[in-house]
Each structure stands twice: as structure tokens, then as C-alpha cells.
Amino acid sequence: MPGPRALLGLGLLVAAAAARAGGRCPSLGRGRGWGWGWGWGRGRACCRPRRAMHGPSAGPQGLRFLGQEEAQAIDQELFTEYKFSVDQLMELAGLSCATAIAKAYPPGSFTTSRPTVLVVCGPGNNGGDGLVCARHLKMFGYEPTVYYPKRPSKPLFEGLTTQCQKMDIPFLPEFPAEAALIDELYGLVVDAIFGFSFTGAVREPFGSILSTLERITVPIASIDIPSGWDVEKGKADGLQPDMLISLTAPKKAAMHFAGRYHFLGGRFVPPALQKKYALNLPPYPETDCVLQLSKA
Amino acid sequence: MLPRGGVRGGAGAAGAASPGRHRRAPGVRAAAAAPEGSAARPAARDELRAPPRPGAPPLPQPREPPAPCPQASPAPHPGDGLRSPGVGSRGGGDVLIPAAVCSPRSKAEAAAIEKELLEDYRFGRQQLIEIWGHACAMAVTKAFPLPSLPRKQPTVLVVCGPAQNGAIGLVCARHLRIFDYEPTIFYPKRSPDPLYRDFTTQCEKMDIPFLSYLPTEVQLINDAYNAVVDAVLGAEAEAGEGREPCAAILATLKLLRIPIVSLDVPSGWDAEAGGSGGISPDVLVSLAAPKECARRFLGRQHFVAGRFLPYDVQKKFELNPPEYPGTECVVAL
């Protein structure tokens, strides 16, 4: 069952996460003494061998999975109270996504002869995250191609699009008609269509796009929420991504995620905000901007 | 549904580069070479592949070294006698920039690069400052890893000037806080620009203390902090010490015994000629590309934070950047 699978190994995090008052530990100067192999210099956030099973609705001291309203409230607070700008956080979010992809699918592991990636960007902020991700993937040595059918006419998105185009990242004029064509051309697809604000019915062209994506066999990496899923309940017959990069904190939909790689990204949440919402985020390794929550 | 092997699952990834060296992570940057397993695909399939895009960039190749620039012998720094031991050898006359890689830029060129990023590439100013500040924080963690800090608390003083360099310092401080350092900020002359005000608020709300004054008694600073990040003046500043309060700050920084990390240009140095009698940073983090004055940098480590630069900008300005290992955004030269 995917829920506990995402939480396996986090049982040990429970005690320490709760002990970190406000995210600040006075004795951190000498490396982390959490005792699970996350010491400074090791660099890998491997979950320890599982000792305890926890149910999908983690207790008050475990990593929390957010509901849609909560996720929106936290987002709002980051902008209104903490005065972050959208482009700042989007840059960090997109970087997290690209970094997670680089960890799980290094360019040398592609069985296509070139590390080609299709990035499908939706009409909102999730799409913006995808544009930033595409740019960083390019810098990491991948060959991203973007499909961006519905572009908001706001300077932020126009700027991100220009940055990609001027970095020689092609934008497809139309979506590949067949799943088989995607499988042929690309080794990985990044799903940056819908995020945590998604509600209601899926409008075209995204309905057809999602139908096609549901039939491809190359791995899909979804940004924040597998597109088309209900942000809390998931979607049993929907997209089945191989990777999920939860931003800020995982949403409830992530409990239904059955893919191999679940990463946490968006390493910008101030300790006070973490405390206010009792996010109980596990510590990121060293200076990494991503944390692997599940072992393949 | 099991994923077909569009990729082979692998969690192997680049290891962090240790300061002073960079190793290429296996597999990354393999775009130019066919990775294992691809030979199995019949050649006829190539037609179905996306055609190579015109101008698809190969990896930047090292170019012929530019015409040698006159290198003035560096003036002895008055702070030498106070330098704490163990900083590392500084051979007189050593230049830490190999000529074939990362040739330094003049002030005009640096400004032109930034202008191109903002106007042609439509990077946002806040976006760039976030990218640079994050990269600077990464460089600080490489130069001064947490376990290596001499003091019990991982304290760092970040001194921010009134303009863009100071804003980058604020973002750097914030990321240091996220990386579990304990930064303290001294930001005496705050920019009225609303863009920079937000950076200040973000730091305040991350519980980063702001000093109300900088002690003139240098020993207090030496005792309280492991290192100082100098984000006072950048490449845009005029030569010389500048107006108050920068002049007083720089006078204090010159006397410090703890290491200084300078962002882009050691404050008080002329961006091209360098500074005689100015501060002597241990670490320099060049933004985008080193400035001319970096030739006169004699400290322990010189990082470049230029990964984000589009290939065409690198080519146009003949930046000749180094290779960045794995997903790193800074590299030590």
C-alpha cells in the first residue's frame, strides 16, 4: 500500500523531528547526531531499515501530508507574510525538481541515445515550475523539450519562457499524437501540468494530453501533484508517475503515490512556518535542495 | 504499470565536490557520448529521433588563452601580519585563474553581461539575486563546512552594503540559515528599493538577527564569529573606500583575523585594478565570471558561481567557464 510505504522508515524521524523545536538545534555545529546515517559528509538521505509501520494518516509527530486548503494557506503566507516573491520560490522549486531528476535518472542511465526529456507545462504556477526545471535540466546536461500550450500573459511566465528559448530549448508546436511517439523520442516526461490548486474538470487540451500520458511507458516525474489527481484523494485510474517531487511539504494525494521515487523539494520553508503548521519536515542532507522520502 | 526502461532506475548521483577540486560525476555531461545500452538500438531508428537542433551546443571547449594581460606584482597587504595560521599558502605573485579558463572580465563587460541577462534573456532581478545568493551560500559551505568550524556555534557574520551586492548577501544569509549555520547580518544602510526590502523581511522572518552596530573592537568580532561574508560593495561600486558607513566597515574588516568571504569583488577594491591596502579575503566568490581584480586575489579559494549562464552568453563574451560537477552551481577554480 503506497501510503505506509512513503512513511516507512520515517518512524525514526518522529522522535527527532518533534525534538527539533522550531527547527533549530544548538548542537548542530558538530554534525547531526540523529543517529541514522545522515551525518554531515555522508550526503545521502537514506531511510533507515524499517522498524515501525505507521498508518497512512501519520500521527501528530510524523511528516504531515497537507490538505488542499492548508497547502494554499501556506503558499499565501509565504508571499504575504514572509514576502517571498513568486519568482524566487519558483526558481528554488524548479531547481529542486531538476536536482531530483538528476539523482534518480542520471543522463548516463537513459536508454535513448541522448538524455531527452519532454516537459509538459500547464497554465499556472506548476507550469512555471516546469519551465525553471527545464532550464536547469539543460544546464545539467539533459536535452529538454517543452510543450507549453496555454501561456499566461504575465511577465513572470514570459520571462521564464524567453530564458528557455534563448537557451536553445525547443518548444513543440503540438503535442505528440501518440504515446508510442513519446516513448520513442524521450527517455523521461516531466508532468508540470497541474499543481495543488487544481480543482474541477480538466480542460482541453490537457484532457487529451493526460490520456496520452497515461499510455506511455517511459517514466513520468510529476511536480508536486500527479496531474489530474484530486489533490487529497488521488485518482486510481489516472496518471501513474514513477517519480513525485513534493514541494514544500507533501500533499495528501502523495499518500496514494505508487511510483519508485518520492522526493521532497522546495527547501525554503522558514522554521517558524514549519512550526506553525507542524510540518515535521525531516532534515535535508547537507546543502542538498532535495530529500528522498522513499527508497526505490 | 512498471516503467519501461526509458531510463534505468538509479539513485547514484554526483558526490559533492571537495573544496579546491572538482570531479566530474560519471554519467552527467554524457550527452555528447552515447551512454551504455544505446548501441542496441538499430541505426535506422535515428530518423525517428528529434533532429539535432541547429546550433545545439556542444560542451564549451577550452579556447586558446587570450593575449596575456600585464600582471602587476601584487602589493603586500598590511593585514598580513594578523592573518591567522592555517589559512593556506599564498605564494607571492600566484594568480589563481588559469588563463585558458574563466578569463576575468572588465567592469564594463560585467555590466554588459548583466544587462543582457535582464533584457534579452528576461531574467528577473530578484531571480538573479536569488540564484547568486544561493550560490554564494553554497560556496561558503564548501569553504567552511559545518564540522570544520572552530567555534562551538556555526556563526557567520554577513555584512551587507546598500546596493545589489548587499541584497545578494541577504539571500546568502538566508540560505546559510537553511543550511543550519547561524548567520547574523549587519545591514546599516538599507536600500529603499522595495525589491531589496523584501529580502530583508525574509531574513528577519527566518529569525536571523540584525546587528544594530558593528563593534569597532575587532576582537569581539573575531571571538563571536567563524567567518565574515563581505557583501558590502560589488563590481558596480566606484573605486576606493566609498562613503560612510562603508568606509568604517571596511576599516574594521581590514583588521579581522577570522576569514573573510567576499562576494564578487573584495569590497573597497577597484573592480579592475584591485586594491592595495584594502581587505584581504580568504575566499572570493565570483558571480557569473571573475572580474579583473580577481587577478590580484591572493586568498585560499576562488569560486565561480556561473552555472546558470546560458551557453550563448558564455560564447558571446568568451567566458570560457569551467566544468561544473554534477548539479553543483559553484565550482572552485
In whole angstroms, give the CA distance from residue A179 to residue A213. Answer: 7
For the segment A124-149, the average pLDDT, to the nearest whole number, is 97
User: Which residue in chain A has the smallest CA separation from B32?
Assistant: A114
Question: Which helix (H) or strand (E) segment is B186 a member of?
Answer: strand B182-186
% of chain B at pLDDT higher than 70? 65
Distances (CA, A) of A16 to A12, A43, A271, B58: 7, 19, 15, 47
pLDDT of residue A61: 53
pTM of the model: 0.76
In whole angstroms, give the CA distance from residue B193 to residue B195. Answer: 5
For the segment A132-140, the average pLDDT, to the nearest whole number, is 97
Angle at A188 between CA B40 and CA B9, to 5 degrees: 70
- Beta carbons of B188 and B214 less than 8 angstroms apart: yes
Does B183 or A30 have the greater pLDDT score? B183
Q: Is the pLDDT of residue B85 over 50?
A: no
Contact A72/B at CB under 8 A: no
pLDDT of residue B43: 39
- Name the residue among A88, A108, A292 with its Cβ closest to that of B127: A88
For the segment A120-141, the average pLDDT, to the nearest whole number, is 97
- Inter-chain CB proximity A219 and B7 less than 8 Å: yes
How would residue B292 be classed by pLDDT, with cut points 50, 70 and 90? confident
Contact A45/B at CB under 8 A: no
Chain A interface disruption, residue of B2, B7, B121, most A CBs within 10 A: B7
- Inter-chain CB proximity B28 and A108 less than 8 Å: yes
Q: Is the pLDDT of residue B3 over 60?
A: no
- Of A195, A224, A189, which is closest to residue A209 (Cα–Cα)? A189
In whole angstroms, give the CA distance from residue A197 to residue A212. Answer: 23
In whole angstroms, give the CA distance from residue B313 to residue B273. Answer: 25
How would residue B96 be classed by pLDDT, with cut points 50, 70 and 90? low
Mean pLDDT over the full length of chain B: 75
pLDDT of residue A112: 85
Chain B interface disruption, residue of A109, A185, A293, most B CBs within 10 A: A109
Among B38-47, B103-112, B141-150, B246-255, the least confident range: B38-47
pLDDT of residue B212: 94
pLDDT of residue B97: 52
> Residue B103: left if φ>0, alpha if ψ -120 to 50, beta else—which one?
beta
Q: Is the pLDDT of residue A178 over 80?
A: yes
The 3-class secondary structure across B258-298, one letter per residue, is: CCEEEECCCCCCECCCECCCCCCCCEEEEECCCEHHHHHCC
- Inter-chain CB proximity A102 and B312 less than 8 Å: no
pLDDT tens sequence across A6-51: 444 443 334 344 444 444 434 333 333 333 333 333 334 444 433 3
Restricting to A residues 246-275, those with a Cβ less than 8 Å away from any Cβ of B are 260-261, 267-268, 270-272
Helix axes A155-166, A86-104, angle to 10 degrees: 40
In whole angstroms, give the CA distance from residue B204 to residue A52. Answer: 39
pLDDT of residue B129: 95
Cell 581584480: give the residue.
B293
- Of A220, A228, A221, which is closest to residue A204 (Cα–Cα)? A228
In whole angstroms, give the CA distance from residue B57 to residue B137. Answer: 29
Mean pLDDT over the full length of chain A: 84
Contact A286/B at CB under 8 A: yes
Task: Report the DSSP beta bridge partners of residue A262.
Answer: A244
ipTM for the complex shown: 0.78
